[in-house]
Structure formats: C-alpha cells, structure tokens
Amino acid sequence: MLLELLMTLIEKFEETHYPIPQSTPNSMLIHLMEARDMTPEVLAEVIGSLGLALQIVNGNRTINRAEAELLADYFHVDASLFT
C-alpha cells in the first residue's frame, strides 16, 4: 500500500515536472531518418517523389495512408506511427 502511494506520487511529480512531449508523424519520420543518416533523396526512393519527400520533411504536407504503409515497411515499424 505504501509502495503504491509512493509510486503514484513519483509518477505525478514526473508528469508535472518532466512531461514527455507528444510526437507527431513528422517528428517520428525525422527521428527515424536521423537515426539512419537518411537524406530526403533516399526518402524519395521510398515514397516515389523528391518533391513529396521534401514537403513532408519540411512539415508542409502530412503523410497519407499509402505513404505511411511504405514508410512502415521500409523502417520495419507500425504504420500508425505515421498517421
């Protein structure tokens, strides 16, 4: 009982003082690209267009469902990360 109370207090403190920012599909893609030292040109090979790749990377366009599936296959992750 005391341990549960202590854990609850610690969780509340961390949520208040050290919140984890919500990720976006774009930020997930950027993170995965950076982890692989991947350029927009390589991303273009995955989704089929350099113009689209640049728009997505720059945050000017959202990732559609078909692109999310292509990215999920390429990065070996769930497509929901990009939607």
pTM, entire model: 0.73
Q: What is the pLDDT of residue 82?
A: 93
Topology of domain 22-82 in CATH is: 434 Repressor (Amino-terminal Domain) (1.10.260)
Residue whose C-alpha is closest to residue 53's, from 36, 66, 40: 40
CB-based contacts of 28, cutoff 8 Å, min separation 6: 81, 82
Confidence of residue 17 (pLDDT cuts 50, 70, 90): confident
| pLDDT one-digit tens code per residue, 21-72 | 778 999 999 999 999 999 999 999 999 999 999 999 999 999 999 999 999 9
Residue 20 has pLDDT above 90, yes or no: no
Q: Residue ranges per domain, the chain? A: 22-82
